[in-house]
């Protein structure tokens, strides 16, 4: 953003490339360096207008809309992106073409800014590829989860993949997200699916979290035990919905919390695994399978289990 743009009112004209995009996401992509909190503030206070009318941050842009952006007062010194992954994205790339990019995200890296995080992975990508007209997350991973992360490089690809993600039944499961997790105890082979609604931002003991609650949104997870250890099980997890902390909450609600989970896990179990070197959540997005939004061909990508998690498995006593 130029210095001139910061001090003048701008009128942006929406074209077909941004048709259907949420207003907040559009502004976050256009107003590089402006804090997320400030963007939401100028929308909610009516300083941003669509066709001269006030709208919500969730408003879906239409081809031909006129967006009024007010003068923006930025901090004197914008925060720099963290060193993080550096700029060698090639070693983290699992798949890339003209409309998609799949990365093997490491644990400990937030996928986007917010909740005290100034720069997430998507902001870093936009900094490192300034010529890219469009880069948006198709789905999200928790900060402490590693593995396959899908990014759209075209609005049409994002829209098609979001449509596929909404197909949550077993027969029409168009986007299959497969995870590996280590849980406390011996997961029973008879417990194959957990279908329990989740409500996020419930407050327990002063901490915000997701909980199983009939007032929440539908959530369905499939679990399959792969390897039994003396007091733990390596399980395969398939998500049919994408709720906040879904796998972690469903596993814990069944009595088999995921190893290394500081929010929903078991303190003693985590301490035992920390003694053999586990210093992160043992949850990894191992594979992603979906229909390519342009060709319709099935795309399947796998991310190998990180060395730290392999080392943990090697340190466990067999069943």
Give the number of residues written for the chain.
319
Cβ neighbours of residue 92 closer than 8 Å, sequence gap 6 or more = 85, 103, 104, 105, 106
Under 8 Å between Cβ of 120 and 148: no
Q: Is 142 a catalytic residue?
A: yes
Q: Considering 65, 104, 142, 261, which one is annotated as catalytic? A: 142
C-alpha 126, offset from chain centre: 16
How far apart CA 139 and CA 149 sit, in angstroms, is 7
Kindly list the catalytic residues: 142
């Amino acid at each position: 953003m130029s210095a001139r743009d910061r001090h003048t009112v701008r009128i942006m004209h929406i074209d077909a490339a941004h048709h259907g995009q949420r207003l907040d996401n559009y502004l976050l992509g256009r107003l590089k360096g402006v804090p997320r909190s400030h963007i939401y503030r100028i929308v909610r206070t009516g300083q941003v207008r669509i066709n001269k009318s006030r709208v919500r941050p969730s408003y879906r842009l239409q081809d031909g809309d006129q967006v009024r952006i007010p003068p923006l007062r930025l901090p004197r010194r914008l925060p720099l992106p963290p060193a993080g992954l550096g700029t060698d994205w090639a070693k983290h790339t699992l798949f890339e073409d003209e409309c998609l990019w799949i990365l093997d995200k490491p644990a400990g890296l937030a996928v986007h800014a917010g909740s005290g995080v100034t720069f997430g992975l998507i902001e870093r990508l936009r900094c490192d590829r300034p010529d890219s007209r469009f880069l948006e997350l198709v789905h999200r991973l928790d900060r402490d989860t590693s593995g396959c992360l899908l990014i759209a490089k075209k609005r049409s690809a994002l829209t098609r993949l979001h449509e596929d993600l909404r197909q949550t039944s077993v027969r029409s499961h168009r986007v299959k997200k497969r995870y590996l997790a280590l849980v406390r105890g011996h997961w029973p082979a008879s417990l194959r699916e957990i279908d329990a609604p989740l409500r996020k931002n419930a407050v327990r003991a002063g901490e915000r979290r997701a909980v199983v609650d009939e007032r929440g949104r539908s959530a369905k997870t499939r679990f399959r035990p792969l390897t039994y250890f003396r007091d733990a099980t390596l399980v395969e997890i398939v998500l049919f919905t994408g709720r906040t902390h879904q796998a972690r909450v469903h596993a814990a609600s069944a009595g088999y919390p995921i190893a290394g989970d500081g929010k929903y896990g078991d303190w003693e179990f985590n301490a035992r695994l920390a003694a053999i070197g586990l210093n992160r959540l043992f949850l990894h997005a191992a594979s992603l399978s979906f229909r390519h939004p342009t060709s319709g061909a099935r795309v399947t990508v796998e991310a190998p289990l990180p060395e730290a998690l392999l080392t943990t498995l090697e340190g466990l006593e067999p069943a």
